[in-house]
Amino acid sequence: MSDLTPTPDRPGLHVSKPSPSAPATASAVCHCGATATANGDSQVKALVDGWTANHGPAHNQTGR
């Protein structure tokens, strides 16, 4: 499998949780230049919520 980590050349959001007992991890890179990482289920959920509201899909909706 190829590396799914987002980069400035391939912006996006990547979340990983290898098992139910392992903490989730996430990384995000937006085409606007914003970047973020998170460790732990609650921090990852906050990152995903923020990404959805302010980057990624939000840019497509508002044209920013």
Determine the Cα–Cα distance for residues 15 and 27; give it in Å rounded to an integer.
Answer: 7
What stretch of H or E contains 12?
Answer: strand 12-16
If we measure between CA atoms, which residue out of 24, 23, 58, 22 comes closest to residue 14?
24
- pLDDT score recorded for residue 8: 87
More confident residue, 53 or 2: 53
Mean pLDDT of 2-8: 81
- pLDDT score recorded for residue 50: 93
Could you tell me how many residues make up the chain? Answer: 64
Pairing label, strands 25-29, 12-16: antiparallel
pLDDT tens per residue, range 7-54: 888 899 999 999 999 999 999 999 888 999 999 999 999 999 999 898
**Three-class SS state of 15:** strand
